[in-house]
Amino acid sequence: MEKQIIWRGLLAGAVAGVLAFVFARIFVEPQIELAIGYEDGVGAAHEALDHGHGHGESDEEGHSHGEDGGGITRAIQMNVGLGLGLLAFSVAIGALFSVVYAVAYGRVGNVSARMTSLYVAGGMLLSFYLVPSLKYPASPPALSLDETIRQRTLLYLAMVVLSAALLVGAVYLGKRWVAKLGTWNATLAAAGAYVVGVAVLMLVLPTISETPGPLVDGNGVIVYEGFPADVLYEFRLYALGTQVIVYATIGLVFAAMVSRLLGERKQSVPA
């Protein structure tokens, strides 16, 4: 049965990838374009300041967006690149989801196949994205520094892994506490333990803030405004929406397919 569960998870992930691409293409990509426009503008302002001080070239180099030197163009990035990236991500999440589901089903109490699917999807969204994003929120590619990409990636992955581990531990504790505290109190206690663990984790891990402030000249006069707060807000809001679509679609599509699978199996088993 495990293989049947896994391929259903892969299919649910593929459906999620298509829907997430449509959403991200419509809502996320325009914010990325605005971020790139800001970067180009602040780069030009830096160059103007450098020329004004007698320097021949800017001290800072901008990110490459594929428009020069024969690289991948923005049109390819925002269509083919975004589509393939979200599809691969969603299929991978679908595969991981199916494995977690196979482990969780029947072991988290008297929960139906469909509800287990929704619980697993919600738990993965919480521990894989929502909690890590509180510490390391998403930022447009044009906003981050190239030299910190390794550090940011490792810290974010550490946050994801530790958040997921804390959630698994909280579920385990909740099951252990049911006999003593009852279902409701055990659930609240386990949720509280998870919140405390996440809070400690956020205090321990370092904070990274790279949002550029206003560019000023030698006299302290602002020559270019800081990164627009509304662009950053909307990018993070729509990035959250993309992730919600991925996990919600996987949970719902998988729930519909797995309920039929498990129902058929129950009917085929002789009494």
CA distance 81 to 74: 9
* Domain locations along the chain: 2-144+228-268, 149-209
Q: What is the pTM of this model?
A: 0.87
Gyration radius of the chain over CA positions: 23
Site of tokens 């003593």: 180
Continuous segment of H or E residues that includes residue 85 = helix 82-104
Q: Give the three-class secondary structure for 213.
A: coil
Render each residue's pLDDT in the chain as its tens digit; 271 residues.
Answer: 778 999 999 999 999 999 999 999 999 999 999 999 988 888 888 788 777 655 444 444 445 555 554 468 888 989 999 999 999 999 999 999 999 999 998 887 778 899 999 999 999 999 999 999 999 999 887 777 778 888 999 999 999 999 999 999 999 999 999 999 998 999 999 999 999 999 999 999 998 888 888 888 777 788 888 889 999 999 999 999 999 999 999 999 999 998 877 764 444 434 3
CA distance 90 to 10: 8
